[in-house]
Structure 1
Amino acid sequence: MQTLMGLLPIILMFVIFYFLLIRPQQKKQKQVQQMQTELEKGDRIITIGGMHGTIHAIEDNSLVISVQDGTQMKFDRSSVREKLNKD
């Protein structure tokens, strides 16, 4: 019984750590993955590197992004950080 009481603070710290750090990070990661799979042609996006552009074409796991001067570049879907509103 005394061993269980000695382990209780460690178990409690792990539970708190899980609910404060691990679980919110998993939820955020699922939201980002869902956003990346729902990307469509014409969406305005920002890449992880900070490049702003519009999706010109979508291939399997990559996107062709058109930037303001008409330049087109190919990126992986996973490099998209944020989807902006279309307006």
Structure 2
Amino acid sequence: MTNIILQAQAAQGSGMGTIIMLVAMFGILYFFMIRPQQKRQKEIQKFQNELTEGTSVVTGGGIYGTVKSIDLTKNTVEVKIARDVVITVDRGSVFKDSANTPLQK
């Protein structure tokens, strides 16, 4: 009989422990995965908004080049990828060139 009472009390206590554990897991998930991703997205958005001519960039397709001109009305960027070769891409698909490879003239 006492065994049944002890099991019932243990079951009631474990419900609160489970809730605390879930809250702790969500907190860890937020601080280690969600928050850093949001910070990275803000940095990318800031870079794309402050884009200027002559900036070294890489497109979403992996093409390295230098910004030649920016058209804010169409939200596009002309990127010089080689001598006399200019491509037009969406401004949202242009990212910071982490390798900083200068375009040869």
TM value normalised by structure 2: 0.73
Pair 1:35 & 2:47 matched: yes
- Report the number of matched residues: 87
Amino acid at match of 1:54: T
Residue range with higher mean Cα deviation, 24-33 or 60-69: 60-69
Counterparts in 2 of 1:71 and 1:63: CA distance versus 1, 3 Å: same
Within the candidate set 47, 66, 76, 2:80 is matched to: 66
Q: Which residue of 1 aligns with 2:56?
A: 44
Could you tell me how far 1:85 is from its partner in structure 2?
Answer: 7.8
Structure 1: runs of 5+ lacking an equivalent: none
Q: Percent identity?
A: 34
Q: Which residue of 2 aligns with 1:75?
A: 89
Which one has the largest radius of gyration? 2
TM value normalised by structure 1: 0.87
Amino acid at match of 1:39: L
**Structure 1 runs of 4+ off > 2 angstroms?**
1-6, 83-86
Aligned residue for 1:42, secondary structure, equals coil
Structure 2: runs of 5+ lacking an equivalent: 1-11
Pair 1:11 & 2:23 matched: yes
Could you tell me how far 1:35 is from its partner in structure 2?
Answer: 0.5
Whose relative contact order is higher, 1 or 2, with alpha carbons under 8 Å and at least 6 apart?
1
